[in-house]
Structure 1
Amino acid sequence: MPVKLQAESAGGCYAQLPYFHQIGITNTLEINRERAIDYLNTRDNVYVFDGFAGWDPKYRIKVRVVCARAYHALFMNNMLIRPTEEELAQFGEPDFVIYNAGQFPANRFTTGMTSTTSVEINFKRMEMVILGTEYAGEMKKGIFIVIHYLQPVKFGQLSLHSSANIGMEKGDVTLFFGLSGTGKTYVLLHHTSHAADPNRELTGDDEHVWSDTGVFNIEGGCYAKCINLSAEKEPEIYRAIRFGSILENVVFNPSNRLPDYNDVSTTENTRCAYPIEYIPNARIPCIADQPEQHHHAYVRCLSSHQKTSGTEDGVLEPIPTFSMCYSAPFIVLHPGRYASMLASKMEVTQASCWLINTGWVGGKFGTGSRCPLKYTRAIINAIHSGSIVSATYTTYDIFGLQSPTSMAWEDTEAFEKERIRLANMFAKAFKGFEDQVDSAVKSAGPTVTI
């Protein structure tokens, strides 16, 4: 529908937050904002979608998306929470606005700009401006950045890069932390499917808030990888790809319009965005009680994972790296703040904590292999049933973690070398954050000399 937009002064630049990457200066923000609105005003049709970020009405924010492509509007229709007719009629003014003029480039000669692509968030105006990129995921990431600021600062609640599910019988809640490529969506959907476990419901696959009353999903949809997708291996995701879903970077046959999920000629990072109700075991509304299973505060503050070829450009084999709170691209506050909030939640709820390796086992890349999904599911089942507690454990001297006595690596000497190397990586990476975390978090780190 035609919508006339008025360009105004941006009235301020990015909030001065220590862990938020700032692009440009106040004048640059004003120029890019006006450039985006001017472009949108030249379009015959502008698409506007109003939705919510956050299922809990007490903590959600109202988001308005203004864009020039129906594709972008449909993407956010899937990823945000869709209002009812009554909620839409009473929507009023949004708390946050996205101006997506991604088809139009930024002026790279503007002071502070280095390319024709610009993705900017203004916390004073509560706006996001996109120029020079049509990647729809920028809007999803932008909302997550805003949530990572507003939930701790405005609402006093903890934002999480995690998936979650709920036991139907006991109502027990499990959070699965991890970055893209670590199996968050894949493991979760298999574990909540009718075939794998008909006794658990899905609340969401990627973004949650742990509030003072429980856990709620930020999004209204899922954003799943499609590489090598098949009805046999991933039936839930496969069946969710139907009318209304969005496929990204997927090659298809133009004559019969059938997608080829095995074709990686464009990229291995192929994706699908679909409403969460397309998953049979989804709990609507996506709200749960207090969790019973999650990760450790130190590991969340400085989390280790593997860059994988399906998610990272130019990566041909797994590379150890770190991501603060599993959310390095999104967090705007010091990671110690999120870690302290997590520790407090753990203490209040007396929730248990498990670290599950979905990466390489039996040896480093080239020797070992990625942990099979059936083993991961078996571990999660044992956690939920409580049977894992009766296993025999040993405490490793470096990390201080209790692990089952059975060893997956045949080469114990190689295992010790890798364990010490990883501990040194943790200690070195943590140096940049230890000045703003308490002694309890510091002492949870590996005991090793760099």
Structure 2
Amino acid sequence: MQEFGIKSRNGFDAYDFKPTVVKWNLGPAECTEEILSRGEGVLTDRGSVMVDTGKFTGRSPKDKYTVEDPNTKDSVWWGKINQPISQEKFDYLKKVLIESFEGETLYVRDMYAGADPNYRLNVRSYNTLAWQHMFNYNMFIRPSEEELENFEANWTIICNPNFEAENYQELGMNGKNFAIVNMTTRELIIGGTAYAGEMKKGIFSVLNYVLPHDHDVLSMHCSANEGKDGDVAIFFGLSGTGKTTLSADPNRALIGDDEHGWTENTVFNFEGGCYAKSVDLSEEKEPDIWRAIRFGAIEENTRFFDRSRKIDYENTEVTENIRVSYPLHFIDNAKAPSIGAIPKNIFFLTFDAFGVIPPISRLSKGQAMFHFISGYTSKVAGTEMGITEPTPTFSACFGAAFLPLHPAKYAELLGKKMDEQEVNVWMINTGLNGSGSRMKLRETRAMITAALEGKLDNVRFEQHEEFGFEFPTACEGVAPEVLNPRATWTDAIKYQEECNKLVDLFNKNFEKYTAGCSAEILAGAPKKG
């Protein structure tokens, strides 16, 4: 692959442009100096830097594209998530994007994506913003000085937030900004947006293609931790289900909080850092994140209390998607390197606002594959404007926005892992029961601990009539009546109505995946009682 036309660390021979300065692999102190001197951000009272991401304060899914070519035409799951763009248009945009670096200071970083050296990507990023250069230092895995001397990139990120595709309509695009992946030339180009999450999630999408497609490795949008005896647990869950809280356990080492791969003998983190939501953050609610905010952390789109440099985490005047990035080693119990053994337990976390999913259930292989593809949770009244009753949300494999392949590919890999390796799959409902009360965090932790420690192995289980999975009749630290959702309802007819309503929603959502799914996956679907 021709890497950005760079033949040496100071040569730009392939394109007709010349940046003013090129700076390579700056550390946190150097990056902070650059950010402050260039006016890209300000220092907070805790030593972190605060920056604004401009027009875009989150990812822009409708402006994400994948190059359609002979290699991807029949493998990518094309549609709204994976919008095709031609090689010709990609080449044009890459050329004009690179030429927009004329006269800019260019920040270049070499980094890894993937803690397992057998499957990692060697990524080189080109940025015009010092804080994005520092973001990549935080979020990707940092090579040693010795590794940097002989670093050879096999993937490239090229990003200029100030470049916009004015002729986007001619190009058949939705707007002036874009994030485009080329799986064949191994490049990610980004223009018109300063939201750094586009780089992080762009490479995640790449790994979600490369690992399952080329290596039969399951890529996952999940957190993972490890017990003192080396047992690994994986937590899947959409926003509001408690994934961060429940995977943060002082008695277990954190492997990672967001992106992982599962090989024949390892679970490994894709990243070298954390990118945490910080809205309403407090030391009491999230002590690990709170303590990680110090020199070297980057806080995005936050605001200060008046006449101070103290951040007001309740202030969402810019966006509710305020975030902080920091290296993984800022977490006290983070594992280094961030690799563990194969998992013994997998937890699907859901907030069931209908009150019919048990607080803990054990899933069969078919049920696990079906519910993995479904990726269910629900929003409740008051969480968003216009939400007046429980609203189901489904996101395939708990990360639909980042799946280049059909969701069934990931589900089949999960099923294969379950066949080859002894692993339990559990559904955890952190939402409501029949009384309308939310599951108590203390009881949820007790159930997860019981599952992790094997205390449920010899307990009697009952089968959920509609969903088919089994739930325990006893668990240490949890009242027996809590375990059976039907027992928490005073109105049996209403329970059945709500249960059947949720079954219908599951099956309607799954219609778009049916054609690509095996009979075993389809057999895991719930049925009306």
Q: TM-score, normalised by structure 2?
A: 0.76
Equivalent position amino acid for 1:438 in 2: S
8 A Cα contact 2:381 2:389, kept in partner: yes
Of the three residues 216, 223, 227, the one matched with 1:167 is: 227
Q: Matched residues in 2 for 1:7 and 1:310: separation?
A: 53
Question: Is 1:377 aligned with 2:445?
Answer: yes
Q: Which has the larger radius of gyration?
A: 2
Question: Is 1:421 aligned with 2:501?
Answer: yes
The structural deviation recorded for 1:374 is: 2.5
Distance 1:18 1:233, change over 3 A: closer
The structural deviation recorded for 1:7 is: 4.6
Q: Matched residues in 1 for 2:382 and 2:344: separation?
A: 31
SS at match of 2:141: coil
Query: Which residue does 2:297 correspond to in 1?
Result: 245
Identity among equivalent positions (%) equals 38
Q: Matched residues in 1 for 2:294 and 2:267: separation?
A: 29
8 A Cα contact 2:456 2:472, kept in partner: no
Equivalent position amino acid for 1:26 in 2: Q
Residues 25-40 of structure 1 aligned to structure 2 (within 5 Å): 25-40=86-101
Question: Is 1:264 aligned with 2:319?
Answer: no
8 A Cα contact 2:277 2:322, kept in partner: yes
The structural deviation recorded for 1:64 is: 0.9
Taking only aligned residues, the RMSD between alpha carbons, in angstroms, comes to: 2.6
8 A Cα contact 1:5 1:37, kept in partner: no
The structural deviation recorded for 1:390 is: 4.7
Query: Which residue does 1:147 correspond to in 2?
Result: 207
Question: Which sections of structure 1, spanning at least 5 residues, go unmatched?
Answer: none
Query: Which residue does 2:471 correspond to in 1?
Result: 403
SS at match of 1:213: coil
Query: Which residue does 1:355 correspond to in 2?
Result: 427
Distance 1:47 1:328, change over 3 A: same
Question: Is 1:187 aligned with 2:246?
Answer: yes
Equivalent position amino acid for 1:437 in 2: C
Query: Which residue does 2:235 correspond to in 1?
Result: 176
Question: Is 1:100 aligned with 2:159?
Answer: yes
Distance 1:418 1:310, change over 3 A: closer
8 A Cα contact 1:23 1:120, kept in partner: no
The structural deviation recorded for 1:254 is: 6.9
Residues 122-141 of structure 1 aligned to structure 2 (within 5 Å): 122-141=182-201
More displaced stretch, 81-90 vs 266-275? 266-275
Distance 1:128 1:238, change over 3 A: same
Q: Matched residues in 2 for 1:424 and 1:290: separation?
A: 35
Q: Matched residues in 2 for 1:352 and 1:439: separation?
A: 21
More displaced stretch, 80-89 vs 261-270? 261-270
Question: Which sections of structure 2, spanning at least 5 residues, go unmatched?
Answer: 1-8, 17-66, 348-367, 474-480
Equivalent position amino acid for 2:444 in 1: T
* Alignment deviations for residues 368-406 of structure 1 (CA, whole Å, 9 cap, x no partner): 354343332222112122223455532122110112452
SS at match of 1:361: coil
* Alignment deviations for residues 153-177 of structure 1 (CA, whole Å, 9 cap, x no partner): 2222111111111111x21110101
Query: Which residue does 1:51 correspond to in 2?
Result: 111
Distance 1:32 1:315, change over 3 A: farther
8 A Cα contact 1:66 1:100, kept in partner: yes
Q: Matched residues in 1 for 2:279 and 2:134: separation?
A: 22
Residues 53-132 of structure 1 aligned to structure 2 (within 5 Å): 53-92=113-152, 94-107=153-166, 108-132=168-192
The structural deviation recorded for 1:300 is: 0.9
Question: Is 1:326 aligned with 2:398?
Answer: yes
8 A Cα contact 2:299 2:324, kept in partner: yes
Query: Which residue does 2:372 correspond to in 1?
Result: 300
The structural deviation recorded for 1:13 is: 4.2
Distance 1:376 1:165, change over 3 A: same
Q: Matched residues in 1 for 2:131 and 2:496: separation?
A: 50
Distance 1:425 1:139, change over 3 A: same
Equivalent position amino acid for 2:524 in 1: A
The structural deviation recorded for 1:423 is: 1.1
The structural deviation recorded for 1:57 is: 0.6
Query: Which residue does 2:526 correspond to in 1?
Result: 446
Q: TM-score, normalised by structure 1?
A: 0.89
8 A Cα contact 2:68 2:84, kept in partner: no
Of the three residues 490, 504, 510, the one matched with 1:430 is: 510
Q: 4+ residue runs of structure 1 moved beyond 6 angstroms?
A: 308-317
Equivalent position amino acid for 1:120 in 2: I
Q: Matched residues in 2 for 1:334 and 1:283: separation?
A: 32
8 A Cα contact 2:379 2:391, kept in partner: yes
Q: Matched residues in 2 for 1:311 and 1:48: separation?
A: 41
SS at match of 1:46: strand
